[in-house]
Structure 1
């Protein structure tokens, strides 16, 4: 475990119904989880990740599996359990030819039977799993040329997939049926849905500010290209992103080894995590209960950023 201090924060972040309020007077603990390998507790080239209430799903791409970190209680510290699943019918690892890239969790079901979606870049499909890891099938490969990042709208369960080859974003029904597509001005990277407005946020290659679209695919405002003055004169390479309940945005900047903060108006606020904290190649990012989880491709691990015990501003969820 390593510790550090978040830098230049002033946005209010929240996830899963909780308020996460970083400020310059708050200490943050930076935990490292996992190391390179094939064992249960190890990772190999972790890419996309997605969090439900008390679980974190990570694409363990080098091992061709999805790793599930769980917690017995949302304030119980770090992860208390670890399991994996692949395209078999159980948690047992099964060697396959698939190439998992990103993962999303549909938590909209009232009965708690969440669905986990995984993009498979090699087979050009989206694979479905139950929350317990049972394999449930695929979307048709006729719809997608190069499915990469994925998100789910918690309002209606719509599955949103970026297609890098066609430079489009596809909205699909939970059964895979196409709802609509819209084109973005460049190669799409990360995608997420605002829990407050249900607008779709997309990062685009060469653009240093997330783009925002309505669920109908209409652009809202204009994204700024190469506005490097607000990013320390370093061209950002925006990738995966997530949004809290107030609309604040957390984005991975792979080129500069940073996790960036933007306010709801997409104005750059500051840096949450950087090379000073040990970060090298951030890929996936999401909010889990009381912190932010980031996957690091180069170091084959996760970074879990949580407020320090002495200076916390977390609002405990109802149990």
Structure 2
């Protein structure tokens, strides 16, 4: 995939320098056991209630922690300078340029640009805590895509996928959920899932939603190639290999030795390949109506 000459999006929020966020338990203001013991001894020696010393120290520690989080390490806004950050910013920019044309032309809906958050390990999102183990995801509450790029390494090492266009497909899939949100599809499906009579039915809604995002990733790729001539020999196969590798049946069979279709949430390898190809061939949003199947 040729991406180096493309502009970079400024809608990248780089939180990788923050490292993993606290997972609860001890807050930013609480003291370690050693500090509590020392302050207790000091209070006993000076005839001061140790609770006053400990409470005051925790207040100071809490203020320092909050200052550190909000002032000394703000998230970097704009295109990062490292190669992976540059790649992500270039792909995001291309989704912006394509969907800003395609969505109004095909559906009469204006495209609002989402932000993409790069993080390492864990971070906060409008949908709750984000963990690397969750994989990339889109949060409709804050209209941001969350991505720990370690997922790309996992694609290569554990899932048998990889390559620039395969990584771009993953990003485009999450942007596909943003398009669903702008079209009003995402909230309707989420409401239907809440009304579902069983978990299997709720999962079936999820599968259709994810397959539609695969198809929309294909729509993006088709229109990006027409607009920018991005695709190179082997790119499509990279994306198809990745779609197959992250099919629910492949993942379940590799982890437990068998697949349980009722528990699928993203679709089988064959389904994901089918819908990605549908979008690639047509370049049309209307071809992606997985709910009509």
Larger Rg over CA atoms:
2
Q: What is the TM-score normalised by the length of structure 2? A: 0.25
Which protein has the bigger strand share?
Answer: 1
Q: What is the TM-score normalised by the length of structure 1? A: 0.24
Which protein has the bigger helix share?
Answer: 2
